[in-house]
Structure 1
Amino acid sequence: MKLTKDTQYIKSLSLKRERIRSFGSYPLSLPFLRHLEELTFHPSVTYIIGENGMGKSTLLEGAATNLGFNPEGGTRNFNFSSYDSHSNLDEYLRITKGVRRPRDSFFFRAETYYNVATHIEELDTEPLGGPRIIDSFGGKSLHEQSHGESFFAAFLERFQGNGLYILDEPEAALSPVRQLAMLARIHELAEDGSQFIISTHSPILMAYPDAVIYQIDEQGIEEALLEETSHYSVLKQFFEDRDRLLHHLFK
């Protein structure tokens, strides 16, 4: 069953402004947070995009932590810390949930996925009985695969449908062909009652038709069409007039 506005898992996000004394220190000093009122999530796929340093990953981390995920990624049952560097933005976020609860959930962070893989191996060496965690990722050690293969092991094997999936730059280790395959997997899972919140730099991943895109910049956060994003326009210019662009770039 595909989610609708009446059945989605996460409906919106806003700031607990009554708890904020100052926007002077990180992460509240991120420019877009001053202007953030309410961010409404699409029942299927919501993209958060922006240049590096604008705060998109910080926002996803804060939302995921607020929802009970480990800041470094994994399921809500993962409880480890390789390096305690996450912000306290989660303390200032108010997330409105829907009436339904996801059957499955996962917070995927490209930059800390290695730590998740290590934690899985450590848990599987403990004599607790029951199935190995790695079996839900296809059975092969994530460290014995390429980054792209290990990423896809999560997308194809671990993501089971009827789930809430928060993905921070999942394209980091994926070729363009694999990004297209990722789009197909997102569609398959969305049709199976899943909701995605994704931060990305990839115009390919942003192309999912049943989605909303929010673009973060110094002025705030606004909804945009794919063709209105800087990511799309830069690549379009590059491929349509590459010689001219490179001429000006190399001058």
Structure 2
Amino acid sequence: MYLKSVELLHDQVSQRNQHPFDIPTVASLERLEFKRNITFFVGENGSGKSTLLEGIAYQCGFNTAGGGRNNYYDTHASESSLGHYLRLAWLPKISNGFFMRSESFYQFASHVEEVGSLKHYGGQSLHKQSHGESFLSLFMNRFNSKGIYLLDEPEAALSPARQLSLLRILHDLSDTSQFIIATHSPIILGYPGASILSFDHGSIQEVEYEDTEHVQITRSFLENRDRMLKELLRD
């Protein structure tokens, strides 16, 4: 591992009642340690997992709209208010890596074409591939050396089969790289031996795969589809 921990500098926060410091998991954050090369952030929308991931990306020097240290372009999502108040501990410090955020991937793909960097992403325009294919092109071509890779909901464009392909990519790189991934996908969460950190109950807690709400709801639906739909859709 490279990134050992992230710490919120509470003494520098002056407006605690404003976003993102009013998010319970952010407000309660002290020092979060990373114990494995692959860590998942899991939780409901608004629980703070993407906010923290973006703050880490800011401290890594990555473009918080998505990209690495050398990707310069602007979007409405490129400002990290939390990142200024985080301290990262490294051993060793590493600068190579990438921040992938699904919501601004279109803008990143346009940036790659504008600067003539397609050769680093498989040689084909990311816009001329399906959404899922372009995600996999990024994973297979850009994630090819030791580094720290931050992924925000990579399953957004991936079919279940392509999510399995992502698991293979994680496996191939896990000995030399570190991944921190915010996800809702029970498939991606199933990667063996990873740390799963839940943001759902006001503080960040490590949980087992079987105890995540995502897994429990998905399993319950698959095993009791008719009963659940009847209850959900009744007048």
Please tell me whether the aligned partners of residues 58 and 80 of structure 2 are also in contact (alpha carbons under 8 angstroms). Answer: no
User: Which residues of 2 match residues 70-219 of structure 1 at below 5 A?
Assistant: 70-83=63-76, 86-101=79-94, 104-124=96-116, 133-191=117-175, 193-219=176-202
In 1, the alpha carbon distance for the partners of 2:219 and 2:25 equals: 27
In 1, the alpha carbon distance for the partners of 2:114 and 2:67 equals: 14
Give % identity: 45
In the TM superposition, residue 210 of structure 1 has moved relative to its aligned partner by: 2.1
Please tell me whether the aligned partners of residues 152 and 182 of structure 2 are also in contact (alpha carbons under 8 angstroms). Answer: yes
Q: Does 1:249 align with 2:232?
A: yes
Please tell me whether the aligned partners of residues 153 and 182 of structure 2 are also in contact (alpha carbons under 8 angstroms). Answer: yes
Equivalent AA in structure 1 for residue 222 of structure 2: F
In 1, the alpha carbon distance for the partners of 2:202 and 2:94 equals: 34
Please tell me whether the aligned partners of residues 120 and 142 of structure 2 are also in contact (alpha carbons under 8 angstroms). Answer: yes
Judged with a 3 Å threshold, the aligned counterparts in structure 2 of structure 1 residues 100 and 61 are, in CA distance, closer, same or farther, namely: closer
Secondary structure of the residue aligned to 2:18 is: coil
In 2, the alpha carbon distance for the partners of 1:139 and 1:23 equals: 46
Secondary structure of the residue aligned to 2:222 is: helix
In the TM superposition, residue 98 of structure 1 has moved relative to its aligned partner by: 1.1
In 2, the alpha carbon distance for the partners of 1:82 and 1:101 equals: 26
Please tell me whether the aligned partners of residues 99 and 149 of structure 2 are also in contact (alpha carbons under 8 angstroms). Answer: yes
Equivalent AA in structure 1 for residue 226 of structure 2: D
Relative to the length of structure 1, the TM-score reads 0.90
Runs of 4 or more consecutive aligned structure 1 residues displaced over 3 Å after TM superposition: none
In 1, the alpha carbon distance for the partners of 2:195 and 2:73 equals: 32
In 2, the alpha carbon distance for the partners of 1:12 and 1:156 equals: 27
- Residues 34-62 of structure 1, C-alpha deviation per residue, up to 9 Å, x if partnerless? 21122111331000111011111111111
Query: What residue number does 1:61 align with?
Result: 54
In 2, the alpha carbon distance for the partners of 1:218 and 1:236 equals: 21
In 2, the alpha carbon distance for the partners of 1:84 and 1:180 equals: 29
Secondary structure of the residue aligned to 1:217 is: coil
Give the aligned CA root-mean-square deviation in angstroms: 1.3
Q: Which runs of 5+ in 1 are unaligned?
A: 1-7, 125-132
Please tell me whether the aligned partners of residues 27 and 87 of structure 1 are also in contact (alpha carbons under 8 angstroms). Answer: no
Please tell me whether the aligned partners of residues 63 and 78 of structure 2 are also in contact (alpha carbons under 8 angstroms). Answer: no
Q: Does 1:22 align with 2:6?
A: no
Equivalent AA in structure 2 for residue 89 of structure 1: L
